[in-house]
Amino acid sequence: MARAFLVVMDSVGIGGAPDAGRYFNGELPDLGANTLAHIAQACAAGRAEQGRRGPLHLPALDGLGLGAAVALASSVPCPDLGGTLRVGRWGAATETSRGKDTPSGHWELAGLPVPWDWRYFPDQNPAFSDELVAHVCAAAGTDGILGNCHASGTAIIETYGAEHIQSGQPICYTSADSVFQIAAHEESFGLDRLLTLCEAVAPYLHQMKVGRVIARPFVGTAKDGFQRTANRRDYAIMPPAPILTNWVQDAGQRVHGIGKIGDIFSMQGIDTLKKGNDAELMHYLHDAVAEAEEGSLTFANFVEFDSLYGHRRDISGYACALEWFDGEIAKLLPELRADDLLILTADHGNDPSWPGTDHTREQVPVLMAGVGIGPLGCVGFADVAATVAAHLGVTATGPGKPVLHG
């Protein structure tokens, strides 16, 4: 019986979204943004030499068709990719959902285009209404909040960390995503109290169509500096209709989540979940290829391309992460069984060469191993879910169509 492994390379876009002109970083539209091609250009020009050297080297991904997918999506030159296809099928996917964020991309990859417009907070100070602030204060038992603005998560705890410890007020901030984030010190405020607060305010924010409430715990002192911990927790809107994970589970087959998948889908249709940093998640993915049951789906997200390098506009770091990931995929491919399907894709772009710190609206690669060699053409995000469902022999209820035939 077949197995499927759906792996999201968070933010590894390949440019060319037809509606990119309607999405912005500050006042600059995303037209021309191309995460992968611009990283490859920087590497070829010797502008990505921190921790690595020379042209971007992704032989495993390129063998699956990565360079060909970039050329399909965009005319932006992508040096050192586009070699001979050896092992995979390749295509480029376009999103119909109106966000360029993690939930929008993942929901649609799972067969459910987002049926509403997300609520975004204005980039002004204050960013939140008096009513929302009052609701958070009542849930927190405080007489105010700190922040109330768009901010980088690392920068805002440096700005307000000491005042937060002194006053006990939670640090509340947002970004260009549909998100409400609450940072608090694990010791002085308390981790359990922070998680309880986020859980309490999440339904109110979800009614506003804010996609996620995120708990951002940190530790440290003003003297020695503050550091975020690994105890982040996301409280996301539950998908309003069945998704790929539900389709598989409802057919009596197992679904294994790796990384942020549980948070993104509010654990809908997920039997087991493994979390950690990307290195740990790759270990779990290798384990899944070795051990997952026949008929199962393993759905993984590797977030550090986005969180550590894209938003921080770190081209060298992003290139290093891609080359590490490529090496791991090279090890993984021979481990696949004869009837396995591996799909590597992405949820949006985050061009580290682009002005600003927001995601970029791009097409994404769709690379498949285990189903021959050759082009898939231009597909939709929802087609990925339909293809996985068809491979596993389960009924799909979303709008996508399988891209493999026979």
d(CA 378, CA 191): 45
d(CA 227, CA 250): 41
The residues facing 174 across adjacent strands are 150
d(CA 140, CA 189): 10
**CA angle centred on 385, ends 30 and 301, rounded to 5°:** 65
C-alpha atoms less than 13 angstroms from C-alpha of 1 in its C-beta half-sphere: 11
| Positions at the binding site for Mn(2+) | 10, 306, 311, 347-348, 359
Positive or negative torsion for Cα 197, 198, 200, 201: positive
d(CA 342, CA 8): 11
Torsion angles phi and psi, residue 258, rounded to 5: -130, 125
d(CA 199, CA 203): 8
**CA angle centred on 166, ends 160 and 171, rounded to 5°:** 35
| Positions at the binding site | 10, 306, 311, 347-348, 359
